[in-house]
Each structure stands twice: as structure tokens, then as C-alpha cells.
Amino acid sequence: MARERDRERRDNSDSGTEDRVIKIRRCSATVKGGRRFTFNALVVVGDKKGKVSLGYSKANEVPPAVEKATKDAENGLRRSVRVSLKGDTIPHRVVGKFGASKVIMVPAGPGTGVKAGPSVRAVLELAGVRNILTKTHGSTNSMNLVRATLAGLHELRTREDVARLRGVTL
């Protein structure tokens, strides 16, 4: 398992980002001569400093599908906002929802690590979170879990952000 995860991890040192392949699915269509296969790839790209994005693409072979998904994620990374982190963890408890998936993220103390399933773990590690506890409820679809995690991360606010929004001084 760990070897597979390390093999699917690529470091783009020129742009300072890293990408991980979350899921590759094979889809078949029955045609006159037999079956025609296409492949879907789900990729997450992040800079480990608070910016993270996902890419999804389809192609007739696996490598082009992964390349297209990575390119899609890197384009999304430019548009995404930086996630508010508090050191190595998140500032407060948050629940991310997408479709039928729900991801509960709770801040954890130093040395805890990332306690999460494979798709949620990839998103959190690429966002730069090192200590966190998570629990997923509902659908375990990888795409929905990744999007729910991203939705939860974008809801995070630091104390300073909340004070500024409310017009209060700390």
C-alpha cells in the first residue's frame, strides 16, 4: 500500500507543487467489435503551504488521463484561495459536505499525524496539514470525499479573520 502511494506521488520541483493520483477508473462501452475501454483519473495538486486543487479527466489510455487531470488541477490551483492553517493543524473543527459525503475534521496536537482515509489524507497532506483527525460519513465515493474535504478547508477561518469580519479587536 505504501509503495503504491509513493509510486503515484510526483514532485513538480519547478513550480513547487506536488501531485497525487487518487483514483483511476476504467469504463467500458460495448461496440460492434467488442468492448472499448476509457480511463478516468482523479488527481490532487498542492503546494503544502495551504493551496490545493483537484483535477478530473478522461482519456483512452491511463497516462494521458493522468496528464490531463494534473493540468486541470494545476489550472485550478492558480484560481484557488489559500487555506487558513494554524501551524501544522487547522484552527477549529469543521464539517465539509458534498453530495452524500460528509467529512468531519478536528484539529489535533503535535505528533498525532494525519488520521484519515486515502483520498482525504492526500488532500490534507498536499494542503500542508500535518496533525488532524477526520471521520467520514455517508458516501465513500472518492470524488465526493475530495470535494467535501476541499469544501471544509475553504470554510476555515483564523481568529484574526473572524475579528476583522466582525469589526472587533482581540
Q: Which three cell numbers stand for residue 127?
A: 494542503
> Is 77 within 8 Å of 51 (Cβ atoms)?
yes
Domain boundary residue, one of 29, 49, 79: 79
Distance CA 37, CA 19 (A): 25
Per DSSP, what are the bridge partners of residue 133? 106, 115
pLDDT in tens, the chain (170 residues): 454 554 455 666 557 889 999 999 999 999 999 999 999 999 999 999 989 999 999 999 999 999 999 999 999 998 888 888 888 899 999 999 999 999 999 999 999 999 999 999 999 999 999 999 999 999 999 999 999 999 999 998 888 888 888 988 87
Residue carrying the nine cell digits 487555506: 83
> Could you list the residue range(s) of the whole structural domain that residue 70 is in?
2-79
Report yes or no on 120 lying in a domain. Answer: yes
Residues 74 and 101 in one domain: no
Question: 21 and 70, same structural domain?
Answer: yes
Residue 89 lies in a domain: no
CA distance linking residue 105 with residue 147, whole number of Å: 14
Domain count, the chain: 2
Query: Domain end: 52, 79, 106, which one?
Result: 79
Beta bridge partners of 40: 25, 58
Residue 52 falls inside a structural domain: yes
Among 49, 79, 109, give the residue marking a domain's end: 79
H or E element in which residue 138 lies: strand 132-138
CB 35, CB 29: distance < 8 Å: yes
Specify the CATH number for the domain of residue 155.
Answer: 3.30.230.10
Same domain, 34 and 73: yes
